[in-house]
Structure 1
Amino acid sequence: MKIILPVAGKGTRLRPHTHTKAKSLVHVAGKTVLEHIISRLMILGADEFIFITDENGKQIEDFMAAKFPALNCSYTVQKERLGPAHAVALAAPRIAEGDDVLVVFNDTIFVTDLEQIPSLCAESDGLIYSKEVEDYQRFGVNVVRGGYIVDMVEKPDTPISRLAQVGLYYLKDGRRFMGYLEATIAAGDKVKGEYYLPSVFMRMIQDGLKFRAPEIDAWLDCGKPETLLETNRYLLRGRHHVHGEVLNTVLIEPVHVEKGAIVRGSILGPNVSVAAGSVVEESIIKDSIINANSKVRDLILHSSILGDSVTLIGSPRRMNIGDHSLIEMEG
């Protein structure tokens, strides 16, 4: 198996955290988004991890070499921003006859049993993983009849289907898939100036290929600050890990403090992750992500994300308040 990971893209919805780093290297629940994804893929024993990168590709390469040195990885730069299908097509030179392919987009951390791929795909040509959602108008959805996908609709006005595509795709015949990608691009089949995978899959379906739409257990969006915090809460659920130095501090589970982080005289939690190299002192923090090498002192924070090497220092207040007072200090 070859695994294709398109990690290009500006990550504009996550700014300012993606001004200086690849969006997949943002931390959540004690790991980068990319580390969460790769860890879930290890069970497949893939022959090669093919990264489609942009100008931040060296960051991805350095990260993989440090965290997963044993994996066989290759890197191709997407020089033109022509959409997701174009990015995946750049992997074609790495796909040989007989290769099956898994395509994994990096805005999402998925929860599903990938070992079931052979049984799920026994009588089909591929899998387009899905998740039932209430706000179907926001997504491309799969329309399923008789167990197979018969249509795909982008952001439907009516609930023709609630099975949203989650950015995880398995193709039994990788070379044939690459051929359909190339045919779609050659035909100029664009949407708003870019090439998208549903156009490719619909060509395949119209030619008689069969796709199933297995539903994943959880779809954890990491594309926006608010959804990144939701994902942090989900991943920390039932996981209370303190590997760093914690002194004179109250921890309200769940909290994740990485090795190399220091917390002193504070109250942390619930749902707080603190990355290595960071120092938190005399602060109260809940529902927040503190990235690497940051310093926080004398602050009350909630629903916050701090990037790498941030220094955020508040000041203690001195008050002389009489009886029956009401003081509200909005944060």
Structure 2
Amino acid sequence: MKIILPTAGRGTRLRPHTHTKAKSLVHVGGKTVLEHIVSRLAPLAAEEYIFINDEDNGPQVMEFMARRFPDLKTSAVVQQERLGPAHAVSLASERIKPGDDVLVVFNDTIFVTDLERIPEICADCDGLIYSKEVEDYQRFGVNVVKDGFIVDMVEKPDTPVSRLAQVGLYYLKDGQGFMDYLKKTIDAGETVKGEYYLPSVFMNMIRDGLKFKAPEIDAWLDCGKPETLLETNRYLLRERHHVHGEAQGCVLVEPVHIEEGASVRDSIIGPNVSIAAGTRIRGSIIRDSIINAETEVSDLILSNSIIGDSVTLHGTPRKMNIGDHSLIEME
């Protein structure tokens, strides 16, 4: 199996956290988004991980992979023009050989599902377009299923023709055949607002008689926006309480993840807080937040916050003289 990971893109919805780093290297739940994804792919024992990068963030991504996953075979292709997801995936074509099956994984989301069941689920079809049932189906491209197979795909439907949203995880038995369909779709100029998208490719395949299923994943964890990144942090920290760093004179309200090399003193931390390596926190109260690496926080109250790398935040203790029956709200 070859795994294709399109990681190009500016990550504008996550700014300012993506001004200086790739969106896949943002921390959540004690790891980078990319580390969460690759760790979930490990049981597949893939032959190669093919990254579709841009010129700005590609070196960061490949350096991270070499440091964190040195035993995995990786390669990189640079996407010079941003012409959409299908175009990005097509750039891996030279790495796909006859007999290769392919898994495409987009890096805006962390998935929870058993990928080792792929051979079983895909025994009687040509590919899998993983899905998740959602209430707000109007926001997504959805798979329309009949008799167990996908018969149509609708982008942001007005009516509930389906609630099975596509989650950015795709498996193709015939990787080289898939690359051929990508090329045909691009050569035919089948664009939406100037970009090439995968549903056009899959619908061409379905019209030619290929069969796809839409297996539902257990959890779909969005990492594309600050508010959803915090939701994902809460989910990933469920039933996980890891203190690998230093915590002295602290009250820790589970779940909390403090990485090795972080130092927290005289503070109340949690619930739902992840603190990266090299960070120092003193005299603070922090809940529902992500604190990235090499940051210093002192004398602050933080909630629902994301603090980047190498940030210094110093607050000031307040002196108050408040009478009876007072109501004070500090926003």
TM class by shorter chain equals over 0.9
In 2, the alpha carbon distance for the partners of 1:328 and 1:148 equals 55
Alpha-carbon deviations, 1:144-174, whole Å to 9, x = none? 0000000000000000000000000000000
Structure 1: where are the runs of 5+ without partners? none
Runs (4+) of structure 1 exceeding 3 A deviation are none
Report the AA paired with residue 261 of structure 1. Answer: A
What residue in structure 2 maps to residue 293 of structure 1? 294
Describe the SS at the equivalent of 2:150: strand
What residue in structure 1 maps to residue 125 of structure 2? 124
Alpha-carbon deviations, 1:95-114, whole Å to 9, x = none? 00000000000000000000
What does 1:297-308 correspond to in 2, within 5 Å?
Answer: 297-308=298-309
Q: CA offset at residue 324 of structure 1?
A: 2.6
Report the AA paired with residue 99 of structure 1. Answer: D
What residue in structure 1 maps to residue 33 of structure 2? 33
In 2, the alpha carbon distance for the partners of 1:44 and 1:113 equals 10
Q: CA offset at residue 202 of structure 1?
A: 0.2
What residue in structure 2 maps to residue 260 of structure 1? 261
In 2, the alpha carbon distance for the partners of 1:324 and 1:311 equals 37
What residue in structure 2 maps to residue 326 of structure 1? 327
Q: CA offset at residue 326 of structure 1?
A: 2.2
> Aligned residue pairs: how many?
330
Structure 2: where are the runs of 5+ without partners? none
Alpha-carbon deviations, 1:9-48, whole Å to 9, x = none? 1111000000110000000010000000000000000000
What residue in structure 1 maps to residue 209 of structure 2? 208
Q: CA offset at residue 327 of structure 1?
A: 1.8
In 1, the alpha carbon distance for the partners of 2:327 and 2:131 equals 50
Larger mean Cα displacement after TM superposition, 318-327 or 201-210: 318-327
In 1, the alpha carbon distance for the partners of 2:206 and 2:283 equals 59
Report the AA paired with residue 181 of structure 2. Answer: Y
In 2, the alpha carbon distance for the partners of 1:193 and 1:66 equals 37
What does 1:74-85 correspond to in 2, within 5 Å?
Answer: 74-85=75-86
Report the AA paired with residue 14 of structure 2. Answer: L
In 1, the alpha carbon distance for the partners of 2:276 and 2:3 equals 28
What residue in structure 2 maps to residue 251 of structure 1? 252
Q: TM-score, normalised by structure 2?
A: 0.99
Q: TM-score, normalised by structure 1?
A: 0.99
In 1, the alpha carbon distance for the partners of 2:118 and 2:157 equals 28
What does 1:171-210 correspond to in 2, within 5 Å?
Answer: 171-210=172-211
In 1, the alpha carbon distance for the partners of 2:28 and 2:313 equals 20
Q: CA offset at residue 328 of structure 1?
A: 1.7
Aligned sequence identity (%)? 77
What does 1:136-155 correspond to in 2, within 5 Å?
Answer: 136-155=137-156
Describe the SS at the equivalent of 1:134: coil
1:101 aligns with 2:102: yes
Larger mean Cα displacement after TM superposition, 192-201 or 319-328: 319-328
What residue in structure 2 maps to residue 273 of structure 1? 274
Report the AA paired with residue 228 of structure 1. Answer: L
In 2, the alpha carbon distance for the partners of 1:136 and 1:20 equals 33
